[in-house]
Amino acid sequence: MADAPNSPQGTATPPKTETKPKGRVIYKMRVAEIRDYTPRIRELFLKCEEPTSFQFRAGQFVMLHVPAEPKPLLRAYSIATSEQQTDGYRLIFNYVDNGAASKFVWDLKGGELLDFTGPFGRLFFQEPPTEQIIFLNTGSGVSQHFCYLESNIRKFPDLRYRLLFGVRTEQDIYYREELERLKKDLKDFEYEFVLSRPSADWKGKKGYVQNFISDYGYLQKPTTFYLCGNGGMIKDVKHKLEAEGFDKTKIFAEAFD
């Protein structure tokens, strides 16, 4: 699990010349663009306004301050952008019925100024990396994995990356364009959608991401697993891997629910 929201920042120690600001910095971020991929998946493109830059490490999350009385409600969102980008980031939101942050985010029209704190979390990409990296995600969990992949394009372009993305139906598929772009930039990256409730026409993988991991030969090749999204999926994958004798120190997970 991730650090508690008010845990210390997981960023590298700042250079000695930098003075650390007192108290927590509130980042004012402008909603520069809104993309609705499906009725329940929305991505916000956020630009730094004050302070004018934001630094983080791949795998970290920020806390959105949802306006409320007597004080804002804080909700965690994993950054979906490369850690090399410092003028803003993208966040992917999965709509939760009756959710306070979900309602707030789906009411946005663009141009608003939002409050964030962070970065938080210590689930960094493990270095030195293993030969094979397997990402398993559901819902909006692709955000963290996309961030690792985009951040690794220059640093580790030659690893064997595999990603399984679990959604319910064909209508819930999103981020294909972004994943295709990664395929062009990385030497050995493959991804597939796994649908739990596909139509009769679906020719791809059906069921749950955990049903397909045995295709990857992780007991023969040095492999690291990154799991993100639904807690049930994470539990099932860990259980399966541990039962097979896979080294559990090579499994890294972040549950969103």
Ligand X SMILES: Cc1cc2nc3c(=O)[nH]c(=O)nc-3n(C[C@H](O)[C@H](O)[C@H](O)COP(=O)(O)OP(=O)(O)OC[C@H]3O[C@@H](n4cnc5c(N)ncnc54)[C@H](O)[C@@H]3O)c2cc1C
Binding site for ligand X (CB under 6 A): 2, 61, 75-78, 92-94, 96, 98-102, 140, 143, 254, 256-257
Nearer to ligand X, 44 or 133 (CB): 44
Spatial strand order of the sheet with 61-66 comes to 73-78, 61-66, 113-120, 27-38, 41-50, 88-94
Quote the distance between the C-alpha of residue 151 and its chain's center: 12
User: Nearest approach, Cβ of 185 to ligand X (angstroms)?
Assistant: 22
- Distance from C-alpha of 232 to C-alpha of 184, rounded to nearest angstrom: 32
Nearer to ligand X, 99 or 216 (CB): 99
- Nearest-CA neighbor of 81 among 104, 61, 101, 66? 61
Query: Would you say 237 and 228 are in contact if contact means Cβ atoms under 8 Å apart?
Result: no
User: Nearest approach, Cβ of 225 to ligand X (angstroms)?
Assistant: 17
C-alpha pair distances (Å), 57 with each of 9, 62, 82 = 10, 11, 9
| DSSP code of residue 140 | T
- Nearest-CA neighbor of 139 among 106, 180, 171, 168? 168
Nearer to ligand X, 93 or 116 (CB): 93
User: Nearest approach, Cβ of 154 to ligand X (angstroms)?
Assistant: 24
| DSSP code of residue 111 | S
Nearer to ligand X, 45 or 218 (CB): 45
In the block, residue with structure tokens 């209508």: 171
Crossing angle of helices 176-185 and 142-152, in 10° steps, is 20
Nearer to ligand X, 94 or 210 (CB): 94
Nearer to ligand X, 4 or 200 (CB): 4
User: Nearest approach, Cβ of 105 to ligand X (angstroms)?
Assistant: 8
User: Nearest approach, Cβ of 229 to ligand X (angstroms)?
Assistant: 9
User: Nearest approach, Cβ of 59 to ligand X (angstroms)?
Assistant: 10
| DSSP code of residue 247 | -
Q: Which residue is nearest to ligand X (CB)?
A: 99
Alpha helices in 120-220 (DSSP H): 142-152, 176-185
Nearer to ligand X, 107 or 127 (CB): 107
User: Nearest approach, Cβ of 149 to ligand X (angstroms)?
Assistant: 15
